[in-house]
Structure 1
């Protein structure tokens, strides 16, 4: 167990150092078995947080992200969080004024993360394979940049299915009612 954890930590450290040394705008911590975002990373990245535009934390074991994560990486353009155990986002996600794409597919959202509707640059939201029943259609319709939202394989209410199409100017992907996601 510890050896495995040590390997995971070393891998994270290596990837973080790569980002710092190469002056990259990307931090890729996908598939690092992370249960939370490692606090030490904030220190290591403190001089470069503004240049980081893409963070991938896909396929980890995250149950939540902190407000510090959101306020630290406030220059993000893309955030990939698919394949975790997230069921909500901190309110500070509203500080991500430049965010254009967020992938929250294959998580455990029951409620639509409404903070996303306040983001002026957001173009793409992926919430495929969650447990969302209700969607704030009016708020989504008012989003200035939104181009597509993927809600496939969510148990959306009949009401959402009826109300949404006439109100929205963007692509809203929905599965046929009762459709089940293919097994991974």
Structure 2
């Protein structure tokens, strides 16, 4: 436990210099309050919270880190994001892969969001009309989700941005994952 705390503290200190907060693979169940305290006067442009056990992103995270351009949340236990993600006006890249989302979260109003990766979730629905109105969106990856056939067809017909649907290429995956 002490090692994990020390690792997080070192990464928080590094974020002050690099403007990149990397808390990936820290076995976090939630975002520690120390993140807000230690980085209260710092600007963070990129944040990696991947490969933890986080179930919820608090609204204060989106409020504190409004300058984020990239947010990596893959490999957690998330099923939703706070409404305040709409206020992250600089966000360009969002990765929510390998979580428990059943629908795409409320990021449609992020004006610069260009890349959304949401592979390996349980997504069966999304707000298709709002998605189509995202002027900055360039790439949407929904591979390995149980999307209904009708929705897949709608997504295939989009020509404003690149959409990846269906099963991902198994090359590089562990053999037991493919079987």
Deviation at 1:158, TM superposition (A): 1.0
CA-based RMSD of the aligned residues comes to 1.8
Match status 1:56 vs 2:48: yes
Q: 2:113 aligns with which of 122, 146, 149?
A: 122
Indicate the SS of the match to 2:36: helix
Q: 1:37 aligns with which of 31, 40, 52?
A: 31
Indicate the SS of the match to 1:117: coil
Unaligned runs of 5+ in 2: none
Q: 1:82 aligns with which of 74, 92, 99?
A: 74
Distance 1:28 1:126 in 2: 18
TM norm structure 2 = 0.91
Indicate the SS of the match to 2:94: strand
Query: Which structure is higher in helix share?
Result: 1
The equivalent of 2:128 in structure 1 is: 137
Match status 1:46 vs 2:40: yes
Deviation at 1:7, TM superposition (A): 1.3
Deviation at 1:165, TM superposition (A): 2.5
Distance 1:109 1:148 in 2: 18
Indicate the SS of the match to 1:138: helix
| Contact 1:141 1:168 (C-alpha < 8 Å) held by counterparts | no
Unaligned runs of 5+ in 1: none
How big is each residue's C-alpha offset from its partner over 1:39-93, in whole Å with a ceiling of 9 and x where there is no partner?
A: 1221111010xx2100000100000100000000000000000100000000001
Q: How many residues align?
A: 173
TM norm structure 1 = 0.89
The equivalent of 1:105 in structure 2 is: 97
Deviation above 4 Å: which 4+ runs of structure 1? none
Deviation at 1:168, TM superposition (A): 4.3
Indicate the SS of the match to 2:18: coil
The equivalent of 2:8 in structure 1 is: 12
Distance 1:58 1:146 in 2: 22
| Contact 1:65 1:90 (C-alpha < 8 Å) held by counterparts | yes
